[in-house]
Chains A and B, each alone.
Chain A
Amino acid sequence: MRNNVRSPIERWLPRLFKLAFLLVLCAGAWQCRNGWPVSGNLMDLVPQAGKDATRQLAEARIQEPLSRQIIALVAARSGGDAVVPARQLAQRWTDGGLFSTVQVELEVDLAALRAQLGAGRLAMLPAADRRQLETDPAAYAQRRARELSDPFSSSGLMPVDQDWLGLTRRAEQALNPGGAVQYDVRTGTLQAEHAGRRWVLVRAETRDSAFESGTPQRIAAQLERDRRFLDADGADLLVAGGPLYAAAGRAQAMAESSWIGTGAAIGIVLLLLLALRRARALLAFVPVAVGLLTGAVACIAVFGSIHVLTLVIGASLIGVAVDFPLHWLGKSYGMADWQAWPALRRVLPGLTISLAASLVGYIALAFTPFPALTQTAVFSAAGLLGAYACTVCQFPAWMQGWRPRPWEPLLRFATAALRLRERLTASRSALWLGALALAAAAAGGISRLGIQDDLRQWLSLPAPLVQQARQIGEITGFVPTSQFFLVRAPDADELLRRQARVSQALDGLVQRGELAAYSTLSQLVSPAADQKALGRELAASAAQPDVWKPITDLGIPYEALRQELQSLAALPAVTIDGALQGQQAERWRPLWLGIHDGQAAGMVTLLGLRNAAALDAVAGTVPGVTLVDRSGELNRMFAATRIEAAELKLLSYAAAAVLLLLTLGRAAAWRILAVPLAATACSLAALGYLGQPLTLFSLFGLLLVSAIGVDYAIFMYERIAGAPASLVGILLSAATTLLSFGLLALSHTPALANFGLAVALGVAFSLLWAPWIRSPAETAQQPSFNH
């Protein structure tokens, strides 16, 4: 038989493949030189915000503490003192070596703080005091005199004779963080009282950006031990922080990808053994493994790392990649003299077209702005290419001389199913009626379909973590808001003035209870020009002893006061950078973005926002102010991407149509396309009836469905080795796909479950509709493409 002779190409292919795969392996090993390049950072999956460098810097500043910081609160269950257990916790954290900084006690450098307050006594003066000094200095003098004679508020950090006017005292007040968290002098710790219990605050920062390495797991383990220790001491622990979410998300994604992978693999092994009844058929897993590896290597090569979400979806790709060897091995059901290379030659065109159709679908996805989809697309496309290459180049060499042992009942089932289908189509009117009923049902389901996208669907946090974060927010009053203002101005002084105007507007929101608090640089430092002006004015008032009479009446010599007033004119202005020195400015330090391209930029951050709608008005009233609303932006982007994905889907249909038209002809093209179209419509309807929302991920799943549908349709259309054998082939591949994606539908991450469900439904419907395709033999005696 001529077919048995291997062509030179067929002799070379396995060697070429092995060489190429070796290269892929080397690339993979090199990529892993610094540990597994697996990322759990949700933000990696979200589009970057614009090209604006200042804005990117601002967002990075907002993100930074979220990804590294951990906040713990410790309280004794008895309601007593929890400082000792909190210190022990901090000690364990320091000893554990996971954190770069652990802070339970604030080291207050009083000398440095005094120097800072002294130099900044004009710069850091709160706006209200500044106004009073400018407009009614006599009233200020009276207030100061009362203060000096009141033993409960006469002294401040500065000795009285170094600051007769008490300016540093007010500057010191401005530094008060407010909120429920207070400094406890006795122990040097930060504490918050809530519902009769005192919570001691412990803060830590992870050594690496917590999303990137194995750190999250170790932190989670550490916290587990801490909880046991504290429990034994009769203390409660609450913890929150980005690294914990990353740990939880990663652990869950890893666990899911492994059990989905294992589940799918076991199912497929059983299926292979049952259908082909030869141990060597298990080699069909080799293309799958090659595909997964190629996908991961390609993904890391393009993006620098692979996200856990991609890994989970990747695990389900097993079910698609195994289709290539299955279609080929499945032909043994129709070919009595199945032999490796000849059989491959006959299925090769079909395999290639189905690969091309899938690639078209995936490549379309790569153009959406969501890295989540792009990554999955690159992973899947490369993975399929790898699996295809392995099936075509290497697999036949291994399977030479292999004699399949088809399981007859399966073939009989396929034949019976096809015969049933024939009988159903016997009556034209019944067929039309059925089609109409189906269309009506589909329309009904689709009309029920709700559209919903939310970043929270991408991450399923364990309830205890969410609960603790909420409790910490309640106790500390620290509920960060994702929205913030980016303020820009030609120079630093103008920036501070604009920020002060934003503050005024925000004060209104605070009064109405729509906002808990905010941080702005103008709280910490006033414009340099204003500092100098105030200094000059106060120096001038040294010539008016009447103004300061209330203070001199206390027995303070006028000469001492005069000297201080005059020295204020010479006090050097404090810049933003200067004011941000020292520990007391910690809260404001991230707000200053510096001067870029001749523009000074700073942020105004918000805490405990209750009415986001009010912010737009604030941004509109002051020039140079932008409201950065990442979550709102993401939601808009979700909507835009959904439309884009739908358009891409149509485009991929068009591309597939052209591809089919060119290879199989017009009659074939529309028949083949009808299968994925019908399957997609039915899946959408089913999602609607099931009450599942249509998300970006389910749209993506349906995109995959169209590729699978085309795939099945091609095999059923070509009917190599007969219709029943082809049906067995797609039955097997549908079973494997259903296994993997069906398992994905059980994922705890809503986005993944949604995706899995969409694909599982789509595959089931594709399997249902593919056999209805009429073969070329039935339509006309046109020769099949692959002969």
Chain B
Amino acid sequence: MKRLPMLAARLCAMLALALLSWNAGAFELADLQKQLRAAPVVRGHFVQQKFLRSLPQPLTSRGDFTLAAGKGLLWLLRTPIAQDLRIDASGISRRDETGKWQALPQRAGAGRENQLFLSVLAGDTTGLQENFDLELSGEPNAWQLALTPKSALLRQIFDIIRIDGSTLVDRIELRETQGDRSVLQMTDAVAGQALTDEEQRAFAD
């Protein structure tokens, strides 16, 4: 029951990816929700940086991602180590050396998070609004969404999640109360219509 920060991090990543599929012109949350399912597939690159107080340089990892509405998310880490991850309704899996998907040891409570994630994917912003105070500002092609956790407990772990976007989500920043922060940048994100064969296989088993 004490896995809150992991939850925070995971929530952040999930939100980020969920928001990727939110359309640019969505100034009203309701509009965002309406346009959520417009792109069935979004692909792009990511750069994740973790800024720690004690290190001059951030810890950086890079890779590619594929988000498929109704299926889940492929998170293909390339550097500094290669690692394929998949998040779907059943949880998080990692591709092992033989190419088989292995479910990562998950705590039983993750079901709730996955459910939240999937409800966001499905365009259900009520799930988000239950957990966060949402504040949308800016222009349709340069907007900013601030998420402040409602629960006192989550507020002890992170202060705010800031999401910047133009046509798609560009950058997600999570500020932890202890001073560390994580920045996730999406580059070259493009909306697609269908999964490749390889992607389909990855979601299949």
Q: Knowing that A155-B176, A191-B112 are A-B contacts, what are 8 other residue pairs whose CB atoms are under 8 Å apart, sorted by A's residue number? A: A108-B4, A146-B94, A152-B87, A157-B4, A159-B53, A183-B1, A186-B131, A186-B154
Query: Is B45 an interface position by the 8 A CB rule?
Result: no
Residues of B within 8 A of A151 (CB): 9-10, 12-13, 48, 61, 75, 182, 184
Partner pick for B83 among A150, A161, A182, A557, CB 8 A cutoff: A150
A765 to chain B, nearest CB (A): 62
Query: Is B138 an interface position by the 8 A CB rule?
Result: no
Query: Is B193 an interface position by the 8 A CB rule?
Result: no
- Residue in A553, A555, A556 with the greatest tally of chain B CB atoms within 10 Å: A555
Query: Is A153 an interface position by the 8 A CB rule?
Result: yes
B-binding segment of A171-179, A204-212, A392-400, A666-674: A171-179
On whether the beta carbons of B178 and A159 are closer than 8 Å, the reply is yes
Query: Is A190 an interface position by the 8 A CB rule?
Result: yes
On whether the beta carbons of B59 and A182 are closer than 8 Å, the reply is no
With A146-B83, A161-B54, A186-B130 given, is the CB distance from A155 to B5 under 8 Å?
yes
Q: Mark B48-59, 1 if CB is under 8 A from A, else 0.
A: 101011110111
A323 to chain B, nearest CB (A): 64
| A179 to B1 Cα, complex, angstroms | 11
On whether the beta carbons of A146 and B50 are closer than 8 Å, the reply is no
Residues of B within 8 A of A188 (CB): 151-153
On whether the beta carbons of B104 and A153 are closer than 8 Å, the reply is yes
Residues of A within 8 A of B109 (CB): 176, 182-184
| A173 to B111 Cα, complex, angstroms | 16
Query: Is B6 an interface position by the 8 A CB rule?
Result: yes
- Residue in B52, B179, B182 with the greatest tally of chain A CB atoms within 10 Å: B52
Q: Mark A145-169, 1 if CB is under 8 A from B, else 0.
A: 1101111111111011100000001
Residues of A within 8 A of B12 (CB): 151
B14 to chain A, nearest CB (A): 8
A607 to chain B, nearest CB (A): 15
Query: Is B137 an interface position by the 8 A CB rule?
Result: no
Main secondary structure on chain B at its contact with chain A?
mixed
A281 to chain B, nearest CB (A): 71
B129 to chain A, nearest CB (A): 11
Interface residues of A in 98-156 (CB under 8 A from B): 106, 108, 110, 113, 145-146, 148-156
Residues of A within 8 A of B2 (CB): 108, 113, 157, 172, 175-176, 183, 584
With A159-B180, A161-B55, A188-B153 given, is the CB distance from A154 to B50 under 8 Å?
yes
3 smallest CB-CB distances across A and B, nearest first, come from A183-B1, A182-B109, A161-B54
Query: Is A353 an interface position by the 8 A CB rule?
Result: no
A-B residue pairs in contact (CB < 8 Å), sample of 13 = A108-B156, A151-B48, A152-B9, A156-B3, A159-B52, A159-B176, A175-B2, A176-B1, A182-B112, A186-B130, A550-B81, A555-B55, A555-B57
Query: Is A633 an interface position by the 8 A CB rule?
Result: no
Residues of B within 8 A of A436 (CB): none
Residues of A within 8 A of B87 (CB): 152
Interface residues of B in 116-170 (CB under 8 A from A): 130-131, 150-154, 156-157
| A145 to B77 Cα, complex, angstroms | 12
On whether the beta carbons of A555 and B60 are closer than 8 Å, the reply is yes
On whether the beta carbons of A160 and B80 are closer than 8 Å, the reply is no
With A149-B77, A186-B130 given, is the CB distance from A155 to B83 under 8 Å?
no
A358 to chain B, nearest CB (A): 61
Interface residues of A in 185-210 (CB under 8 A from B): 185-188, 190-191, 193
Main secondary structure on chain A at its contact with chain B?
loop
On whether the beta carbons of A154 and B9 are closer than 8 Å, the reply is yes
Q: How many residues of B contact A (CB 8 A)?
A: 53
Interface residues of A in 27-86 (CB under 8 A from B): none
Query: Is A554 an interface position by the 8 A CB rule?
Result: yes
Residues of B within 8 A of A152 (CB): 6, 9-10, 13, 75, 85, 87, 92
On whether the beta carbons of A553 and B1 are closer than 8 Å, the reply is no
Query: Is B107 an interface position by the 8 A CB rule?
Result: yes
| A210 to B9 Cα, complex, angstroms | 45
* Shortest Cβ distance from B52 into A: residue: A161
On whether the beta carbons of A110 and B156 are closer than 8 Å, the reply is yes
A314 to chain B, nearest CB (A): 49
With A149-B77, A555-B59 given, is the CB distance from A161 to B85 under 8 Å?
no
On whether the beta carbons of A555 and B80 are closer than 8 Å, the reply is yes
Query: Is A560 an interface position by the 8 A CB rule?
Result: yes
Residues of B within 8 A of A148 (CB): 59
| A172 to B179 Cα, complex, angstroms | 21
Query: Is B8 an interface position by the 8 A CB rule?
Result: yes
A151 to chain B, nearest CB (A): 4
On whether the beta carbons of A554 and B108 are closer than 8 Å, the reply is no
Partner pick for B1 among A106, A159, A187, A550, CB 8 A cutoff: A106
Interface residues of A in 526-568 (CB under 8 A from B): 550, 553-557, 560
